[in-house]
Amino acid sequence: MNYSRELKNQIFNIIQKESDKLKYPTYVVGGWVRDLLLKRENTVTDIDFVCVGSGIILAEKVALTMGKQARFKVFKKFGTALISYKGENYEFIGARKESYRSNSRKPIVENGTFEDDQIRRDFTINAISIQLNKDNFGELIDPFNGIEDLKNKIIKTPGNPNKTYSDDPLRMMRAVRFATQLHFEIEKESYEAILRNCERLSIISQERITEELNKIILSPKPSRGFKVLFETKLLHQFFPELVKLEGVERVGKHVHKDNFYHTIEVLDNISIHSKNLWLRWAALLHDIAKPQTKKYEKKQGWTFHAHEFIGGKMVPGIFRKLKLPLNEKMKYVQKLVTLHLRPIVLAKDIVTDSAIRRLLFDAGNDIEDLMTLCDADITSKNINKVKKYLNNFQLVRKKLKIVEQKDQIRNFQPPINGIEIMQLFNIKAGKEIGILKKSIKDAILDGKIENNRDEALKFIYKKAKELNLNK
């Protein structure tokens, strides 16, 4: 099979000319070829090239031909080179063979043949290549029947899967990731090899594991990946907090839902409406504290009191352990986890303006994402129950909009600040300042006064008298 017509990007013609000058057999490999055959568009912006020779020398020649817009970078440690050009990255590597030590995924690398390079590939579907030299331009090379595996939607290793995963345990995470992204199945022998080698994941840095995990979370249906991670015991190696959610306990007629499968269903629901990675993380962690708060009460059955608050407190520790960012993204997830029950409570009860104001104040600009999370959290199989909750959430949304327009509560700052309070009552910084600021905020949120300076001044004079402060 020849795919020369599909090689429209000018990079392929440039590489053909330069590799022929150097007399380097050269190939495009990996994800770009796989996605071309799957007819997946705009999924891979990084294109990998292998040559039998020096990848660095070839890349340098190609970069010079491409001109000043091409940015050229060499990674001597890995024997690779990268060209960045108009939003795309082109990586060049010389064909090599690899051998591994038991305590590291970093291979001992030697120059090798193109066949050596193919056998080191992670999966058959990523070992398919297209030749770029003039005599065989566009010729497809498929040594491990990767095309057949693409047709059958199978994730399979080129060699012995037990050795493949033992040598480089990160490939187990990659297998789950590709299976999730492509909606493929992991071949039986490969699946069993993952189960046997799951503990080998311990030699992989958490950063690399989390990178693959995030790609699973960002897939169209992440639950597929999390089920496999759980069943193969990979999840147990780095995310025991999530594993603890699994299981159902029954006492008499009282039974609670399986919180693990509920959680990944919520994650799927979120994924339909948003590609925001951190909103998806909020979905994944919204019930993370339920195992810690689970309690059986004779009349009520199973309860999980305060799981949202304890879950919020758990978020920084989980982010730190998984090497996720400890910045505003973490705080965003923490906020949504802590607040995720608030709209549900409002949907059950009579909605007061005061409750709405406080929710708007606490959620700020993330109120819409919070409501999306609440919608996703409804996983009941009772259609009438689901309909009722969704309708109630719509009422909450309408009330949020009305109160927001009227009171301008979202992200509001009290009309009188601490410095002004000090000047008004001729006092120094102290606890009285905090008391007065909080009293103004609470008065506005409770609807006792309007959100303006005049009403705030009238209120604060009264409050100051109670604290024996004179104007």
Position 278 pLDDT exceeds 60: yes
Report how far residue 334's alpha carbon sits from residue 285's, in angstroms, rounded to the nearest whole number: 9
Tokens of 290: 């339920």
Report how far residue 339's alpha carbon sits from residue 333's, in angstroms, rounded to the nearest whole number: 10
pLDDT value of residue 34 = 94
**Local confidence band at 39 (pLDDT 50, 70, 90 cut-offs):** confident
Single-letter residue type at 158: P
Length reported for the chain: 471
Share of the chain above pLDDT 70, in %: 93
pLDDT value of residue 348 = 65
CATH topology for 4-152 is Beta Polymerase; domain 2 (3.30.460)
Position 471 pLDDT exceeds 60: no
pLDDT value of residue 101 = 64
Report how far residue 37's alpha carbon sits from residue 294's, in angstroms, rounded to the nearest whole number: 49
- Half-sphere exposure at residue 245, Cβ-oriented, CA atoms within 13 angstroms: 24
pTM, 2 dp: 0.86
Contact 232, 194 (CB under 8 A): yes
Taking residues 212-222, what's their average pLDDT?
Answer: 97
Residue position matching structure tokens 């305060």: 306
Report how far residue 268's alpha carbon sits from residue 262's, in angstroms, rounded to the nearest whole number: 10
Report how far residue 12's alpha carbon sits from residue 132's, in angstroms, rounded to the nearest whole number: 7
Taking residues 309-338, what's their average pLDDT?
Answer: 97
Residues of CATH 1.10.110.30 domain(s) within the chain? 154-238
CATH topology for 154-238 is Hydrophobic Seed Protein (1.10.110)
> Is the CA virtual torsion 390, 393, 397, 398 positive or negative?
positive
Contact 30, 123 (CB under 8 A): no
Residues of CATH 3.30.460.10 domain(s) within the chain? 4-152
Tokens of 255: 């039974």
What are the pLDDT digits (tens) for 393-437? 888 888 888 777 766 666 667 778 888 888 887 788 878 888 888
In this structure, of 19-23, 89-93, 188-192, 409-413, the range with the lowest mean pLDDT score is 409-413
Taking residues 101-107, what's their average pLDDT?
Answer: 64
What are the pLDDT digits (tens) for 42-95? 556 789 999 999 999 999 999 999 988 899 999 887 789 999 998 889 999 998
